[in-house]
Amino acid sequence: MAANLLAQGFALTVHNRHRDRELPLAVAGATRAATPAAAARGAAVLALCLSDDAAVAAVLLGEGGDGDGAAVAGLAPGALVVDFSTIAPQTSRAMAAALAERGVAYLDEPVTGGTEGARAGTLSVLVGGAAADLERARPLLEAVGRTITAIGPVGAGQAAKAVNQVLVAGSYAAVAEALALGQRLGLPMEEVRQALLGGAAGSWALEHRGGAMLRGEFPLGFRLRLHRKDLAIALEAAAAGGLGLPVAELVAAMEDDLIAAGHGDEDVSALARWFNAGSR
């Protein structure tokens, strides 16, 4: 996503908690910053993409909200924070409230489309926040995404991403289960997979991850443990609304098994391992 911003001509300052990950962007023309505060200093728009709620709070506000070295120390009134992370809606609302006290606007903008979409700049961006702030951010969003959808107020983008992650859970698990059945039946499964892509069973997961599942290869992608974190957000939201999500609950239990077996840092498509008794 950052590389696409550079390619579109944006002046970009970058900071990563794993500093070596800044190096390819620096070679491409980005300026490196030693801290989140330094990255935010002078920025009209600050974009985040972090792993979880705790990381967002620490990078934006600092430990205990003290701001020491955190982005908030460098943000000036009138700046805009665009948060591409997937976190709980209530965390997004808390970040927005804390920043508003300092005159800084906030949009929650989780994305979907996989690493393929991130590289190609074709992600789908789910936006929660004020319409005027979305228009300010639109040029940046159009550099990373093909579909930009205003969902509602702050937190609504995260709620929509929870819906997405439930769909991902069901579709990946269904593909893994179906491919396991075909293998058990002795079918030529790559040929079967190609044949099914054009029919009613075709899906993003079957097209983009089915081949790797058949080969037993699970490079990132999106980490299984992070998807499990996202399912926890969805399950909590459903419980608060009095709704059961039996498919999501089953996939969460499968992912718990795989994480316990040491597969949490593999792609979500490692759900295919669950059908191998030796991996459970």
- For residue 43, what are its two tokens? 């920025």
Residue 87 to residue 109: CA distance in whole angstroms: 10
Phi, psi of 221 (to 5 degrees): 65, -145
Q: Could you give the C-alpha distances from 77 to 39, 58, 100, 125, in angstroms and in order?
A: 15, 20, 9, 25
Q: What is the CA radius of gyration of the chain?
A: 20
Q: Are 70 and 59 in contact (CB under 8 A)?
A: yes
Catalytic annotation, residues: 161
Residue 257: CB atoms within 10 Å: 14
Residue 22 to residue 2: CA distance in whole angstroms: 10
Residue 101 to residue 128: CA distance in whole angstroms: 19
Q: In the block, which residue shows the tokens 């409230």?
A: 97
Q: Which one-letter amino acid corresponds to residue 55?
A: A
Give me the helix-helix angle, 89-100 and 53-61, nearest 10°.
10
Angle in degrees, CA 168, 242, 249, rounded to 5: 35
Beta bridge partners of 128: 108, 152
Q: In the block, which residue shows the tokens 């992370």?
A: 85
- How many angstroms from the chain centroid is the CA of residue 76? 27
